[in-house]
Amino acid sequence: MSAAPTIGVLALQGDVAEHIAVLRSLGVHAVKVLSPERLDAVDGLILPGGESTTMSKLALRYGLMEPLRERVEAGMPAYGTCAGMIMLADEILGGTHDQRTVGGIDMTVRRNAFGRQTESFEARVHVDGIGEDPFDAIFIRAPWVERVGPEVTILGRVTGPDEAGRIVAVQKGGLMATSFHPELTGDARIHRLFVDIVKGHA
């Protein structure tokens, strides 16, 4: 693969344009993914924030759920933010009865754990792999991780004051997920970390 991989952004719903803008600022060939054929052409995939139940329904409607699962199981790197974190979880708490996920990360995620839209907030989170300076994370109707399996690395936790210690960033091999929205911050360090993961899995 060339120095600049092709990274897709799942374009069913959510912060698609924002992720593409950050990836392109890093010199990455970034494309929208809305079909199995386009999914086959990418080296890695971002599953953006949005509404996880809607994303689940649209993935099924567009015939993408099984291709997504197959690519993830085959080792394609993927990064989920907020609703995308839920999509990569093997288990959801607070989901609807018919909600399905792509899975791949052995973790239990609670939907809307930090509260409703009006309870959105920002917090400084130390994230392993991006340097010593904390990340100014934006949480919008965000999930948190209640359990991780033995092969999952915890990259970051909220440090306070209300929900101190809650897991908000994880990695398992080429799969990464955050509760928050780095695409809205102007700080590209987490996207750069994912780009490096994609390059490393070439």
List active site positions.
82, 181, 183
- β-partners of residue 171 are 153, 176
Tokens representing residue 50 in the block: 């949005």
Q: Smallest Cα–Cα separation from 12: which of 38, 50, 40, 66?
A: 50
Q: How far apart are CA 201 and CA 173, in angstroms?
A: 9
Task: Work out the number of other CB atoms within 10 angstroms of the CB of residue 105.
Answer: 28
Task: Work out the number of other CB atoms within 10 angstroms of the CB of residue 41.
Answer: 11
Q: How far apart are CA 143 and CA 101, in angstroms?
A: 14
